[in-house]
Amino acid sequence: MAMLVCLCAGFCLSESSKLAAASPPRLLNDPVDISGDFHNFANLYYLADHLADFDPATGQGDIACQRSAYFTRLAFNNMLAVLKPVAATEFPANEYAANPKLPFSIDFVSARTLRIRVQTGPQFAPPQPELMLNGPVPKDNGDWKYSKVDGGYRYTGPYGSVTILDNPWCIEIRDARGRLLTRTVTQADLSETFTPILPFSFVRRASDYSRSVDAAFTLSPGEKIFGAGESFTGLDKRGQKIVLWANDANGIQNQRMYKPIPFFMSSRGYGMFMHTSTPITCDFGHDFSGVNSLMIGDDALDLFVFLGTPKEILNQYTDLTGKSPMPPLWSFGLWMSRCTYNSETQVVDIANELRQYKIPCDVLHLDTGWFETDWRCDYQFSPTRFPTPQKMIDDLKQKGFHISLWQLPYFVPKNTLFPEIIQKGLFVRDAKDNSPREDAVLDFSNPATVQWYQDHLAPLLKMGVGAIKVDFGEAAPLTGLYADGRTGFYEHNLYPLRYNKAVADITKEITGQHLIWARSAWAGSQRYPIHWGGDAESTDDGMAAELRGGLSFGLSGFSFWSHDVGGFVSRPSTDLYARWLAFGVLSSHTRCHGTAPKEPWNYGQAFMDEFRRIDDLKYELMPYVYAQAKDCSEHGLPMVRALFIEYPNDPGSWLVDDEYLFGSSMLAAPLLHENATGRDVYLPPGTWIDYQTGKSYEGGWHHIEAGQLPVVMLVRDGTVIPKIALAQSTMQMDWSKLELVVFAKNAPTAKGLVCLPADNELHELSLTRNGNTFKLENDPLAGKVTWKITRAENVE
């Protein structure tokens, strides 16, 4: 039977021995790819056929389905699988519908957002507390107007229209000009190709009678797809099959994800959010180039569709699921770490050396070695290696350092907390009421577990610990039984969100700040910043993959993101470390971390000097960084930003995956190759000024040499960049004196943003040219700041 499933999934018959040899055994926590269930000869398929009834006033109706099954067809020594209608096989036959009617509805959330829901059967489960959404779903205030059309029903809003057609049942989504953006795939589409494709449908599995939805939509020629989480594969997901299942990817050059997000956007002007926590397989034109199959494990579809530009789509999506709040100022400074510091003396010595060598730094992270036994998380500082932790934290804070602490939600049997977790029933259980793992995995669906967990974190935060590292979280047992009554099929992907929330809530309660340091995520986790990119390989390819992952993550609703500078796995060369550091300081958050020591003095005097120059850049740019972060927080935008977010009408900007905008006005092109001193750079339309040399370029392709810093970095013509005097920590910065550096070649005005940490209010800066100088039109801070206005040097 297993071989039959494998054969059917491939749509062709081959030598079974070869197929068996090519199929590796399933391993613990392997991603759950449900796509095979939609190509299984044993299952039944219910294809959306026609509209049985519909009430346009309520947007509710029923879809009549056609029961179908796969059969083989032989043609010229080639075997294909084809779908054909089949009769009912249940007994007694009169008790069950052969071709059921599916309740569906369409609701309008805002002028740019609509919601499509379809049920494949009765829904008896009590409602669960909503985690992914940021509150009740709002109702549109009347922007959408109904009209009857031939063969269906149409709702028209200011930014597009939705048409529901009777026969075959179809939903068409168009923009305000009437251009078709996408529509559901219908049975009529089957006649247009010899390739077997599955229209909008649901599957009923023969193995357990469970149901899952295939929400199939059309893709257009040239259409591109972006998002789906921190995916390290090609930035454009068109032609890929993406499995949305939280996984310890063990690196960043594979298809697995620490942070899958059930949201994507299209270059045609729409985005979709699959509101579920079940496994999802998104076939973005992988099996058939013109079909986007959203194979959703859930037995009901809840799909939000957004209309607009990338900026508008991200704003609408994060209005629904939440925007990233502002982390504290100090979090934007340098984080120094390794796996791991293991004594109080070592931590204090490193802090002193950072100050001695004038390496600006705000955070020292203690990884797995602050317990008595390395990796054995008991929330207690080792009494033998950290004898006076309170004094250490207090002394470091006076020097401008905050402490971050590692921990995880899995408890080995030798952990002193293990018996208590078992005795109190705080762990995920199996069908026998045992633990499905040797470890006890905390069950965050249990309020008692959350309280117990937060009670152990609270004393650390009260000591003055600045941040908790929320490591792992991707291995919640699939077969586990959770306190909320559900299995891992529904809880596995929610686990990162629950985990993120538990730490963020207690941190906010005690410190008043929005800050965690997390590896795993799901939709809604952006409300609990910050997340970092996992265990990157210390290679050029690792660095390039990390950038793709960060861009993809930003296109999934996350404003703030970091990565292990130099890679995690091994000791980087000085060349790679310097190039990666330049990428790191031009990210929202900057952490040097890995299995090898990352303190710059371990790499020689010349490298330490280069490290200092790169690090200084972040600290001098802190007013720009902080203001851009605030703007991102308010609008759901990423700090590490794909070019097309700012330039949606420029075709070239949709093709670039190895450079980015840092905020709205700076373009960064990391040096991704060994010993590179420059690179080919694509510039969006307009004039761009090299931050380091002052040379100007027009939009298009250019080969640009980096300056003293190993990165190509440009600023939009007509931009003012706020800067601050260099300090060794953000605590020592004087925000009453800021320099406004104007980058302008021919622009008559220069604009920018500023936000003082003291009041956290975003203000626009506007300067006008007066000969060769620029003047601030109005002081948005009303005398709180002494401004020094300068022009970027050597602009030509």
Active-site position among 223, 362, 439, 535: 535
Cβ burial of 381 (10 Å; 0-12, 13-18, 19+) is buried
Average pLDDT for residues 538-550, to the nearest whole number?
98
User: What's the confidence (pLDDT) of residue 25?
Assistant: 56
**Is 484 assigned a catalytic role?**
no
* Residue spans of alpha helices (H) in 586-676: 605-620, 622-635, 643-646
Residue 779 burial (CB count, 10 A): 12
**Tens digits of per-residue pLDDT, 333-362?**
999 999 999 999 999 999 999 999 999 999
pLDDT for res 4: 34
Q: Write out pLDDT tens, residues 666-681.
A: 999 999 999 999 999 9
Residue type (1 letter), 573 = S
Mean pLDDT of 638-664: 98
Residue 113, pLDDT above cutoff 70: yes
- What does the alpha-carbon distance between residue 657 and residue 643 come to, in Å, rounded to a whole number? 9
Which residues in 609-757 belong to E strands, given as ranges?
640-641, 660-662, 666-670, 678-690, 696-705, 711-716, 719-724, 737-743, 749-755
Region 570-574: mean pLDDT is 98
Q: Which of 189, 298, 439, 471 is catalytic?
A: 471
Q: Cβ distance 529 to 327 under 8 Å?
A: yes
- The DSSP secondary-structure symbol of 385 reads T
Q: Given CA atoms 367, 370, 376, 379 in this order, what sign does their dihedral have?
A: negative
The helix (H) or strand (E) run that includes residue 488 is helix 488-491
pLDDT tens digits, 49-72: 999 999 999 999 999 999 999 999
Nearest CA to 266 out of 207, 229, 306 is that of 306
What's the rounded mean pLDDT across residues 433-440? 95
How far apart, in whole angstroms, are the C-alpha atoms of residue 503 and residue 132? 16
Percent of the chain with pLDDT over 70: 97
Residue 16 has pLDDT above 50, yes or no: no
Question: Omega of the bond prior to 310 within 30 degrees of 0, cis?
Answer: no
Q: To 5 degrees, how large is the angle CA 549–CA 555–CA 558?
A: 85
**Residue from 408, 390, 393, 325 nearest 363 by CA:** 393
Angle, helices 495-511 vs 447-463, to 10°: value is 40
Question: What pLDDT score was predicted for residue 24?
Answer: 52
* pLDDT of amino acid 21: 38
Q: What is the pLDDT of residues 594-633, one digit of tens each?
A: 999 999 999 999 999 999 999 999 999 999 999 999 999 9
| Kind plus residue range of the DSSP H or E element containing 745 | none
**What are phi and psi for residue 56, nearest 5 degrees?**
-65, -20
**Mean residue pLDDT across the chain:** 95
pLDDT: which is higher, 130 or 15: 130
Distance of alpha carbon 698 from alpha carbon 228, whole angstroms? 33
Token pair in block for residue 604: 């020689």
Residues with Cβ within 8 Å of residue 191, at least 6 apart in sequence: none
* Average of per-residue pLDDT across 577-581: 98
Read off φ and ψ for residue 375, nearest 5 degrees: 75, -15
Task: Given the residues 49, 474, 599, 631, select the one marked as catalytic.
Answer: 474
Concerning whether 430 is annotated as a catalytic residue, the answer is no
Distance, CA of 16 to CA of 219 (rounded, Å): 34
Query: What distance in Å separates the CA atoms of residue 524 and residue 558, rounded to the nearest whole number?
Result: 9
Told to judge if 53 belongs to the known catalytic residues of this protein, a careful annotator would answer no
Distance CA 548, CA 540 (A): 13
* Cα–Cα nearest to 564, from 591, 539, 541, 603: 591
Cα separation, 625 vs 327, whole angstroms = 12
- Cα 548 to chain centroid distance, Å, stands at 11
Helix (H/G/I), strand (E/B), else coil: 447: helix
